[in-house]
């Protein structure tokens, strides 16, 4: 493993450099290397290819166990410690996970199963953060992440000594950033639970130049608790397009930092990037040079299902019979312009068909949030006898907005058939674990009559 080889190298060449900082817990490279070897010596029952569920609440213990399992030839399965026991048992049974490793360092046998290793450079098995059903498990190979790291490095002109990613390790971004830091000999700062003030203190109390990796909801909290961080040179945002007001606020408060928005997924890794909002307003940025894009079955406007391929994509789903490095789709409708800027129009499962016309909620939501009194917006649907379904706008904001006023605002940005049939102000949104608005849950709440309007 190249990452493990690098950790050993840095343990010799910079033994006292801080490797991992999680809240009050900190280890140097020498201490980390020793802890990994010590943990690996306690995992004698693990054989090559066996899967180990990492369910620790302590993120530092998780990372030590992660590399210890790899050192023994096993496959770490990075689980969300917030999963209830029943869900964890279901996942372990479904994906034939052999062992579970908990906070006490106890290795519990779950299932006897011999695995045929299909991915030669396998780092771990990760899980999608879906809100319904059992999460999809996927293979993540080391070489695909190393390819992603090369693309990240190419975007950073200033030398970076510390990478900060305070999200849970079960979400691929934070784990990715942590391994990135260790692979390159940097310091990584994370948190067990994201807390903006503590995250800022961690950056203020540690020396070095910083790059922050997070999602828009984290960035919103950071700007709410702004404190001077002079050596924060890069802010990487992914998971959702930044609201224009939040982007403006970030650039005002952290004027010395380059703001880079990524579009991608756990499976595809990075697809496109937008540096300091240099991309066209409605796009998610320029496609990375090592990413190939196909728009499948485009309509008259060139909008079709997005397929991608690159050396950064995952190695397939665990349920699949064989790994894949073929073209993959992440379920987005999109189009690509002649300058390689990518424009998203919405998720495959979110598309509405109103009176025979395709309506993409994301397009409406982008126009809605341009209204100065709107904070967040989500488009849901309800059945309609003649038109098939209707679009309903749920929003949060500083004031009540009449349907007439919203229609006047939207008609300058959208076609008439895209204007929602009803506008409803809600007290607050419901979110997924990854910080996105839970569209399906908001629709369920609306249809149950929780919101007036």
The DSSP letter of residue 429 is -
C-alpha to C-alpha distance for 244 and 146, rounded to whole angstroms: 32
pLDDT, average across residues 115-124: 84
Domains of the chain from N-terminus onward: 1-347 (3.40.50.12780), 352-447 (3.30.300.30)
pLDDT, average across residues 312-332: 81
Report yes or no: 250 and 219 within 8 Å, Cβ to Cβ.
yes
Report yes or no: 268 and 313 within 8 Å, Cβ to Cβ.
yes
Instruction: List C-alpha distances in Å: 245 to 223, 241, 259, 395.
Output: 11, 12, 14, 16
Q: Within 10 Å of residue 213's Cβ, how many Cβ atoms?
A: 25
For 43-52, 99-108, 186-195, 222-231, which range has the lowest pLDDT when averaged over its residues?
222-231
Mean pLDDT comparison of 183-187, 217-221, 442-446, highest-scoring range: 183-187
φ/ψ of 223, rounded to 5, equals -70, -25
Per-residue pLDDT, 276: 94
Pairing mode of beta strands 75-78, 25-28: unpaired
Per-residue pLDDT, 225: 85
C-alpha to C-alpha distance for 57 and 15, rounded to whole angstroms: 27
pLDDT of 183 > 60? The answer is yes
Per-residue pLDDT, 74: 95
pLDDT of 326 > 80? The answer is no
C-alpha to C-alpha distance for 243 and 395, rounded to whole angstroms: 14
59 three-class SS: helix
Higher pLDDT, 158 or 244: 158
SS (H, E, C) 229-297: CCCEEEEEECCCCCCHHHHHHHHHHCCCCEEEEEEEECCCEEEEEEECCCCCCCCCCEECCCEEEEEEC
Structure tokens at 234: 């890069």
**Using alpha carbons only, how large is the chain's radius of gyration in Å?**
23
Which helix (DSSP H) or strand (DSSP E) does residue 118 occupy? none
The DSSP letter of residue 437 is B
Report yes or no: 309 and 327 within 8 Å, Cβ to Cβ.
yes
pLDDT, average across residues 112-127: 86
Q: pLDDT-derived band of residue 132, with 50, 70 and 90 as boundaries?
A: low
Over residues 384-424, the pLDDT tens digits come to 888 889 999 999 998 999 999 999 999 999 999 999 999 99
Q: pLDDT-derived band of residue 433, with 50, 70 and 90 as boundaries?
A: low
Per-residue pLDDT, 281: 83
Would you give the end-to-end CA distance of the chain in angstroms?
A: 57
Per-residue pLDDT, 153: 97
Report yes or no: 160 and 234 within 8 Å, Cβ to Cβ.
yes
Over residues 291-302, the pLDDT tens digits come to 999 999 998 888
Q: What percent of the chain has pLDDT over 90?
A: 69
For 71-75, 121-125, 172-176, 346-350, which range has the lowest pLDDT when averaged over its residues?
346-350
Structure tokens at 196: 């903006």
């Amino acid at each position: 493993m190249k990452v493990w080889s690098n950790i050993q190298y840095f343990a010799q060449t910079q033994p006292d450099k801080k490797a991992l900082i999680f809240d009050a817990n900190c280890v140097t490279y020498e201490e980390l290397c020793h802890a990994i070897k010590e943990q690996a010596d306690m995992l004698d029952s693990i054989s090559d290819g066996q899967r180990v569920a990492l369910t620790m609440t302590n993120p530092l213990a998780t990372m030590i166990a992660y590399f210890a399992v790899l050192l023994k030839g096993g496959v770490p399965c990075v689980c969300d410690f917030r999963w209830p026991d029943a869900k964890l048992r279901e996942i372990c049974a479904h994906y034939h996970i052999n062992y579970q490793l908990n906070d006490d360092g106890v290795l519990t046998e779950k299932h006897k199963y011999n695995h045929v290793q299909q991915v030669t450079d396998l780092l771990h098995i990760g899980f999608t953060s879906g809100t319904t059903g059992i999460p999809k498990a996927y293979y993540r190979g080391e070489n695909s992440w190393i390819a992603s790291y090369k693309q990240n490095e190419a975007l950073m002109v200033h030398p970076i000594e510390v990478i900060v990613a305070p999200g849970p390790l079960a979400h691929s971004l934070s784990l990715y950033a942590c391994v990135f830091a260790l692979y390159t000999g940097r310091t990584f700062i994370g948190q067990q639970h994201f807390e903006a003030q503590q995250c800022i203190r961690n950056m203020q109390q540690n020396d070095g130049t910083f790059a922050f990796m997070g999602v828009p909801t984290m960035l919103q909290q950071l700007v709410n608790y702004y404190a001077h961080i002079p050596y924060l040179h890069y802010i990487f945002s992914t998971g959702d397009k930044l609201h224009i007001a939040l982007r403006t606020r970030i650039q005002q408060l952290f004027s010395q930092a380059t703001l880079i928005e990524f579009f991608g997924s756990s499976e595809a890794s990075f697809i496109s990037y937008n540096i300091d909002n240099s991309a066209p307003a409605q796009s998610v940025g320029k496609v990375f040079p090592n990413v190939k894009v196909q728009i499948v079955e485009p309509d008259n406007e060139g909008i079709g299902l997005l397929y991608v391929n690159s050396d950064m994509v995952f190695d397939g789903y665990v349920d699949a019979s064989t790994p894949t490095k073929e073209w993959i789709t992440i379920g987005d409708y999109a189009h690509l312009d002649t300058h390689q800027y990518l424009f998203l129009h919405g998720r495959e499962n979110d598309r509405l068909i109103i009176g025979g016309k395709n309506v993409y909620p994301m397009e409406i939501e982008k126009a809605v949030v341009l209204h100065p009194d709107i904070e967040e917006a989500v488009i849901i649907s309800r059945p309609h006898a003649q038109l098939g379904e209707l679009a309903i706008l749920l929003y949060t904001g500083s004031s009540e907005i009449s349907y007439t006023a919203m229609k006047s605002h939207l008609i300058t940005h959208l076609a008439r058939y895209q204007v929602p049939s009803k506008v409803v102000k809600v007290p607050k949104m419901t979110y997924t674990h990854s910080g996105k608005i839970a569209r399906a849950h908001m629709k369920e709440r609306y249809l149950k009559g929780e919101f007036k309007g």
